[in-house]
Amino acid sequence: MKTCLAFMLAITLVPVLAAAQEPERKTFIEARGSVKPVPLPPGGPTPRMADGKPDFSGVWFEGPTGKANAWSVEREERPREDPIPWQPWAKAKRDAMTRVELELSSANVNCTPVGTPGMFTDNAYAHQISTKPGLFIHLIENNNRWQVVHTDGRPHKPKEEQEPLFYGDQTAAWEGDTLVIDSVSIDTRSQIVDGWFHSEELHVVERLRRPSLNYLEYQFTIDDPKVLTRPWTSAWRTFSLGNEDLTENFCTNNENVEELRKLNEQQKR
């Protein structure tokens, strides 16, 4: 899987480099493969833990096929979502970012943690989730990233004891069969996705549910009163159960960073 995903990163970066070298070119050609995706069947009822709550354990890939979708002949169709309610200054800042600057803002280029909700929103690699009563453990293959969240409904730390963390001060509780993860005090060096910066006031609420054996669904809400005019909630995203193990994949000595910075300066001239 490592070789396959490394190639995915390479084909993702090529259009960025090309765009930086040719600033007048406005079209973007999406790389596609030769495989027609076949969605998994539901597979059976929702597995449950000893306490009766859904068990999210497994290796998961975004999309319905149970595998990385890099080689699909079809464009991935994202569910429709409301426009992001930027404050005017924030929209102007985000709109002014070049394609290279967007790439340079990525944790995957800078070898930093992806943060919350980046574990789900800024990650093209496999997820491994393990749950047991009172605990949610989430690993992703890219750069040895992980998070552990207590799901017993405990309160956040007192505000005076909180410190900025990439994944924030996190707690979680169940609402029926939906796990709700609440995160505050998130390090401003992280991003939501694709250049979506945030303030120290960011509050993220994530929801996970498992409607059947083969499927996991994820949704997140962003509340950031310094950047947005109101809270924003994503559409539900689908993940499917895979049959592969995570492999070592570390981000070290990323030579793309300096190259991208040089290209960004060229693009601005």
CA 160 to CA 48: how far, in whole Å?
37
pLDDT digits (tens, 9 = 90+) for 203-230: 999 999 999 999 999 999 999 999 999 9
Span 21-26, mean pLDDT?
42
Q: How far does CA 1 lie from the centroid of its chain?
A: 19
Percent of the chain with pLDDT over 90: 60
Q: What's the pTM?
A: 0.81
| Extents of the domains making up the chain | 2-268
CA 25 – CA 10 distance, rounded (Å): 20
**Tokens 């169709």, residue located:** 77
- Answer yes or no: is pLDDT of 100 > 70: yes
CB 104 within 8 A of CB 257: yes
> With 90 as the cut, is the pLDDT of residue 27 above it?
no
The model's pLDDT over 172-210, given as tens digits with 9 standing for 90+, comes to 999 999 999 999 999 999 999 989 999 999 999 999 999
CA angle 155, 158, 161 (to 5 degrees): 130
pLDDT reading at 17 higher than 50: no
**Number of other residues whose CB lies within 10 A of the CB of residue 143:** 18
Of all residues in the chain, the percent with pLDDT exceeding 70 is: 78
Q: Is the CATH number 3.40.50.2300 carried by domain 2-268?
A: no
Residue keyed to tokens 């000595």? 253
For residue 146, give every residue at least 6 positions away whose Cβ sits within 8 Å of its Cβ, in sequence order, or none: 137, 138, 139, 140
Lowest mean pLDDT among 4-8, 43-47, 107-111, 228-232: 4-8
DSSP H helical ranges for the chain = 2-21, 88-95, 99-104, 107-110, 118-121, 256-268
Query: Which is more confident, 222 or 122?
Result: 222
Checking DSSP bridges between strand 58-62 and strand 237-241, what pairing results, if any? antiparallel
